[in-house]
A and B are shown apart, each in its own frame.
Chain A
Amino acid sequence: MLKFTAEHEWLKLEGDVATVGITTHAAEQLGDLVFVELPDVGTELTKDGNAATVESVKAASDVYAPLDGEVTEVNQAIVDDPSVVNSDPQGAGWFFKLKLKNTSDLDALMDEAAYKDLIG
Chain B
Amino acid sequence: MDTTPALKKTPLHALHLSLGAKMVPFAGYDMPVQYPAGVMKEHLQTRTAAGLFDVSHMGQVIVKAASGTYADAAMALERLVPVDILGLKRGRQRYGFFTDDNGNILDDLMIANRGDHLLVVVNAACKEADVAHMQANLGGCSVTLLTDRALLALQGPKAETVLASLAPDVSTMKFMDVREVSLVGSPCIVSRSGYSGEDGFEISVPADKAEELAQALLSHPDCEAIGLGARDSLRLEAGLCLYGNDIDTTTSPIEASLEWAIQKVRRSGGEREGGFPGAERILAELTGGTSRRRVGLRPEGKAPVRAHAKLYADAEGRDEIGEVTSGTFGPTAEGPVAMGYLPTAQSEPGTQVFAEVRGKYLPVTVTALPFITPTYKR
Contact = CB atoms under 8 A, between A and B. Distances in A.
B306 A57 contact: no
B303 A58 contact: no
Interface residues of B, number: 20
Interface of A: 31-32, 34-35, 37, 53, 55-60
B233 A57 contact: yes
Contacts of B303: 35, 37, 55
B48 to A, nearest CB: 16
A53 B233 CA distance: 20
Given A31-B34, A35-B303, A35-B304, A58 B229 contact: yes
B329 interface: yes
Contact of A55 (B232, B233, B329): B329
Contacts of A60: 304, 306
A57 B331 contact: yes
A42 to B, nearest CB: 19
A56 B306 CA distance: 11
Contact of A31 (B39, B304, B328): B39
Q: Which 9 A-B pairs have the closest CB atoms?
A: A34-B329, A32-B40, A57-B39, A57-B329, A32-B38, A55-B304, A35-B302, A35-B303, A31-B38
A55 B40 CA distance: 13
Nearest to A80: B302
A35 B34 CA distance: 19
Nearest to B37: A32
Contacts, number: 43
Contacts of B329: 34-35, 55-57
Contacts of A55: 303-304, 329
Contacts of A37: 303, 358
Nearest to A31: B38
B43 interface: yes
A18 to B, nearest CB: 25
Contacts of B336: 35
A58 B328 contact: yes
A57 B329 CA distance: 5
Interface string B112-139: 0000000000000000000000000000
B348 to A, nearest CB: 28
Nearest to B40: A32
Given A34-B304, A35-B304, A53 B358 contact: yes
Nearest to A37: B303
Contacts of B34: 31
A43 to B, nearest CB: 15
A106 B306 CA distance: 36
Nearest to A56: B39
B39 A32 contact: yes
A73 to B, nearest CB: 21
7 contacts: A32-B41, A35-B304, A35-B329, A55-B303, A55-B329, A59-B306, A60-B304
B231 to A, nearest CB: 11
A60 B38 CA distance: 16
A59 B228 CA distance: 13
B302 A57 contact: no
Given A31-B34, A35-B329, A58 B302 contact: no
A32 B43 CA distance: 12
A74 to B, nearest CB: 16
A53 B303 CA distance: 10
A53 B358 CA distance: 10
Nearest to A29: B22
A41 to B, nearest CB: 18
A32 B229 CA distance: 11
B244 to A, nearest CB: 16
Interface string B60-90: 0000000000000000000000000000000
Contact of B43 (A35, A53, A57): A57
A14 B318 CA distance: 46
A57 B358 contact: no
Interface string B215-249: 00000000000000110110000000000000000
Interface string B286-328: 0000000000000000111010000000000000000000001
A57 B41 CA distance: 11
Nearest to A50: B358
A37 B331 CA distance: 19
Contacts of A34: 40, 302, 304, 329
